[in-house]
C-alpha cells in the first residue's frame, strides 16, 4: 500500500465533522473547533464554459480559481466559508456534512499515476488525510479517467464515527506543480438523495494551466 510519505507534502488538512464546527487533522492530531469566516462574495469570476456547464446542470453555481488553475460547480444554496489552509469550502447551512472542499499542495510529481494505482492512493489518503484516525473507513471504489490528457483518480468511501457515517466522493490530480484534491459528501442517511448531485460536483472538477 502507498504510504503517506510517498504522497506530496501535505502540511495541514482540514476536515468537516458532524457539527457546525470544523476540525483540523495536522501533526498527527485531530483538532476541533477551528474558527472560520463566512464569505459572502465569490472571489474569482467563472469561465464561460463553466457557466454553460452550471446552466446545463440546473441548481449549480460555478467557481473558477485562476490563481491555482481549477474550476468546478457546487449546489445552489451552499455557503462559502473561509478557513486558513483550505483553498475552497462550500457547505450546506442546515446539513453540515453536505459540503465540498478543495485543497492544493505543492509537489514535484508530474502525474497522479506517479503515486501508485487509484486504489493505493485512495486508501492512503482516506486513512491518513481525509478522515481522522478515530473513524472507521472503507473504500468502496476507485477509478481513473482522463480530461484533456490529464489523469484524474476518483474514489468513493465511507467514514464511520460514533454518531454519524459520512458517505463521500473525492477526485485528485496533479498539474502546475500542484497536487489537487476535491472532496464532497453527505450524511449516509441522505446519500440516496444527494449522490447524483455530489457526483455532478466531482465530475465537474477540472484543472487548467496557469
Tens-digit pLDDT profile for residues 73-103: 999 999 999 877 889 999 999 998 999 999 9
Domain count within the chain: 1
Confidence of residue 185 (pLDDT cuts 50, 70, 90): very high
Grid coordinates in use for 76? Answer: 445552489
Are residues 80 and 38 in contact, defined by beta-carbon separation less than 8 angstroms? Answer: yes
Residue 47 is classified by DSSP as P
Q: Cβ contacts of residue 97 below 8 Å, gap of 6+?
A: 16, 18, 164, 166, 185, 186, 187, 190
pLDDT at 72 over 90: yes
More confident residue, 178 or 10: 178
Is there a contact between 168 and 158 (Cβ–Cβ < 8 Å)? Answer: yes
- Identify the pLDDT of residue 6: 57
What pLDDT does residue 84 have? 79
Residue span of the structural domain in which 109 resides: 4-207
Pick the more confident residue, 12 or 80: 80
Q: Taking Cα atoms as reference points, which of 134, 184, 169 lies closest to residue 25?
A: 134
Q: What pLDDT band is residue 27 in, cutting at 50, 70 and 90?
A: very low
Q: What is the CATH number of the domain that holds 52?
A: 3.40.1000.10
Amino acid at each position: 500500500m502507498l504510504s503517506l510519505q510517498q504522497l506530496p507534502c501535505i502540511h495541514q488538512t482540514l476536515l468537516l465533522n458532524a457539527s457546525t464546527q470544523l476540525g483540523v487533522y495536522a501533526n498527527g492530531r485531530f483538532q476541533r473547533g477551528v474558527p472560520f469566516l463566512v464569505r459572502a462574495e465569490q472571489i474569482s469570476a467563472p469561465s464561460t464554459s463553466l457557466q454553460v456547464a452550471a446552466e446545463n446542470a440546473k441548481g449549480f453555481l460555478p467557481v473558477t480559481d485562476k490563481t491555482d488553475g481549477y474550476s468546478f460547480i457546487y449546489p445552489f444554496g451552499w455557503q462559502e466559508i473561509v478557513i486558513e489552509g483550505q483553498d475552497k469550502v462550500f457547505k450546506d447551512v442546515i446539513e453540515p456534512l453536505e459540503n465540498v472542499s478543495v485543497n492544493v499542495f505543492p509537489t514535484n510529481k508530474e502525474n497522479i499515476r506517479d503515486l501508485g494505482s487509484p486504489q493505493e492512493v485512495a486508501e492512503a489518503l482516506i486513512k491518513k488525510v481525509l478522515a481522522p484516525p478515530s473513524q472507521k473507513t472503507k473504500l468502496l471504489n476507485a477509478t481513473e479517467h482522463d480530461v484533456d490528457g490529464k489523469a484524474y483518480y476518483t474514489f468513493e468511501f465511507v467514514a464511520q464515527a460514533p454518531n454519524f457515517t459520512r458517505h463521500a466522493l473525492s477526485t485528485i490530480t496533479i498539474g502546475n506543480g500542484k497536487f489537487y484534491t476535491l472532496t464532497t459528501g453527505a450524511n449516509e442517511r441522505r446519500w440516496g438523495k444527494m449522490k447524483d448531485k455530489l457526483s455532478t460536483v466531482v465530475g465537474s472538477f477540472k484543472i487548467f494551466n496557469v
